[in-house]
Structure 1
Amino acid sequence: MKILAAEDDPVLRVILTRTLGKLGHEVVEAADGQAAWNCLLTAPMRIVVSDWMMPKVSGLELCRRIRARESPDYVYFILLTVQDATEENKRQAADAGVDDFLVKPLNPTDLWLRLRVAERIIHSTTRIRQLEGLLPICSYCRKVRNDRDYWQQIEGYIREHTGTKLSHSICPDCYERVVIPQLKSAGLPPAPYTPPRPESRL
């Protein structure tokens, strides 16, 4: 996988690049945060390993820019620091959108573990985006075809893939078009439409 390595210290950048290379990754180097940002604008990458303190654009600001842009592809961001992260450091990083920390000097095993997690998350987000982009739905019964090629009710599909609990209600258009005629045919006076309570919605 192609990884962007942003580190302003030349020696540490070489170490980081070589370590990533030994782990089987293609590496694009950046000497500071601005250079890293320029790289991402021209050649999008899914994983960034960045130093925290850099000239021009810090690692936190680089992460903020990545999170702020409109892109369908999730970028996993690993932040490097020279010391154990304090609670305030963690809060700042979480607010910026950082996914993980690594303390310098780098431990290759720790880096490998983080990258394995990054790859799994990227794979999952890509799969979700594919499912969201193409979901076959029957024009008649409104069942959807899942990734095992079975047709199931859309409620079950949503519950299975998102964990969302569904409740049923009636929209205003269907109330006017379906419910009111049924009430009138039964000799019952139709009541005004009442929107569902917030807790009963999807």
Structure 2
Amino acid sequence: MTTPIRILVADDDAAKRLAITRILTQAGYAVLQATGGVEALDLAQTAAPDLVLLDVEMPDLSGTDVCLQLRVEPATNALPVLYLSAHRTHSQDRIEGLDSGADGYLVWPMDPRELLAWVRTLLRVRHTERAVRAANADLNHTLESISDAFFALDDAWRVVHFNAAAERALGRDREQVLGRALQDGFPEARGSMLEEKYAEVLRDRRPLVFETYFDRPPYANWYEVRIYPREPGISVYFQVITTRKQAEAERENLIRDLQAALASVKTLRKLLPICAGCKKIRDDEGYWQSVEGYMLQHADVRFSHGLCPDCLRECYADLGDEPASSNGTLR
């Protein structure tokens, strides 16, 4: 079951109060009645009405005083207030009433349809304001929960958002920067490449994503930065990536060291002149060397000596067919 909209009617004139109550009740609203300003203030603070209709002149506490007190209390400062007056009907009275914080000022008696039209309008405004506040609360919760540092600038370069991750990354409380121009809160950014990038997105309304090293203390670090246009201004998301950059540099150094080590390994990839008789090899300087000597100079090898099966039979023919091991030695 839908909870009816509740409207508080405050007027010390019983006939006028009852007439207004009847109009509102017939339109389907739930009505709370107050016979004076003090009671109206109490009900506004405790009964949580959706709208307040106030007589301007009440003996204990005027409607103006009630409205002023409602506006200073966080729980009621957004509560719509509509003045209804049968005596203070001049333009200056309306101006003073609106300047006191009221959302509308009507002269009684009036056409009930006009009164209901004002009621519907103020209730729509209140509903819209609640929706905007809820959306802003959801947005703020999202911005506070993300791991990326985030801040937003308006078109005048004023900082309008600054989340907890940005506080940690930059070492500044949001109270120190909110509402201030970026260059005042962070003079280190003045004239920097980052300032140029912010100006570019503000001007061209196209996002930018990049990595950069900011070399100005106390913010000297590598940053990954994403800048998006918003209305009005820009949104900036960033992460400090110095640790990642250091790891990448170490990896590149290791790759270079490995490549150098591989390049230093001795390999043979060329045509070798070899003697058909003694099997010596001629080196690059024209000297003839044994195979062992040449290989030791030009390849990362060591030698072990033995006899192949053919040489074994030739050198040791008297041993007959005694089988040899695979490396040429006798079993």
Match of 1:125 in 2: 129
Matches within 5 A, 1:181-200: 181=216
Q: Is 90-99 or 109-118 further displaced after alignment?
A: 90-99
Instruction: Say whether 1:172 aligns with 2:180.
Output: no
**Cα distance, 1:73–1:67 mapped onto 2, change above 3 Å:** closer
One-letter code aligned to 1:172? F
* Alpha-carbon separation, structure 2, partners of 1:87 and 1:104: 14
Q: Is 29-38 or 87-96 further displaced after alignment?
A: 87-96
Match of 2:25 in 1: 21
Match of 1:139 in 2: 147
**Cα distance, 1:120–1:165 mapped onto 2, change above 3 Å:** farther
Are the equivalent residues in 2 in contact too, given 1:67–1:97 (CA < 8 A)? yes
Higher relative contact order (CA 8 A, sep 6+): 1
**Cα distance, 1:74–1:141 mapped onto 2, change above 3 Å:** same
* Alpha-carbon separation, structure 2, partners of 1:140 and 1:60: 47
Normalising by structure 1, we get a TM-score of 0.70
Q: Deviations over 1:132-162 (max 9, x none)?
A: 21212453485xxxxxxxxxxx86xx9xxxx
SS of the residue 1:134 aligns to: helix
State the Cα distance separating 1:181 from its structure 2 match.
Answer: 4.9
State the Cα distance separating 1:83 from its structure 2 match.
Answer: 4.8
Matches within 5 A, 1:7-156: 7-71=11-75, 74-83=78-87, 85-135=89-139, 136-137=142-143, 138-140=146-148
Aligned residues: 168
Q: Deviations over 1:34-84 (max 9, x none)?
A: 111111222121200111111101111111111111227621111011157
State the Cα distance separating 1:91 from its structure 2 match.
Answer: 2.6
Are the equivalent residues in 1 in contact too, given 2:70–2:76 (CA < 8 A)? no
* Alpha-carbon separation, structure 2, partners of 1:11 and 1:53: 15
Are the equivalent residues in 2 in contact too, given 1:3–1:49 (CA < 8 A)? yes
Can you give the 5+ residue segments of structure 2 that lack an aligned partner in the other structure?
159-181, 193-212, 221-232, 234-331
Identity of aligned residues (%): 24
**Cα distance, 1:181–1:9 mapped onto 2, change above 3 Å:** closer
Normalising by structure 2, we get a TM-score of 0.45
State the Cα distance separating 1:129 from its structure 2 match.
Answer: 1.2
Can you give the 5+ residue segments of structure 1 that lack an aligned partner in the other structure?
143-153, 159-163, 186-199
* Alpha-carbon separation, structure 1, partners of 2:12 and 2:88: 20
Q: Stretches of 4+ moved more than 4 A in 1? A: 168-171, 173-176
SS of the residue 1:98 aligns to: coil
* Alpha-carbon separation, structure 2, partners of 1:16 and 1:101: 15
SS of the residue 1:139 aligns to: coil
Are the equivalent residues in 1 in contact too, given 2:45–2:75 (CA < 8 A)? no
One-letter code aligned to 1:41? Q
* Alpha-carbon separation, structure 1, partners of 2:134 and 2:20: 33
* Alpha-carbon separation, structure 1, partners of 2:93 and 2:76: 28
SS of the residue 2:9 aligns to: strand
Are the equivalent residues in 2 in contact too, given 1:32–1:57 (CA < 8 A)? yes
**Cα distance, 1:88–1:73 mapped onto 2, change above 3 Å:** closer
Instruction: Return the index of the structure with the highest Cα Rg.
Output: 2
* Alpha-carbon separation, structure 2, partners of 1:167 and 1:112: 44
* Alpha-carbon separation, structure 1, partners of 2:49 and 2:157: 40
**Cα distance, 1:141–1:180 mapped onto 2, change above 3 Å:** closer
* Alpha-carbon separation, structure 2, partners of 1:68 and 1:141: 34
User: RMSD in angstroms over aligned alpha carbons?
Assistant: 3.4
* Alpha-carbon separation, structure 1, partners of 2:77 and 2:65: 19
SS of the residue 1:27 aligns to: strand
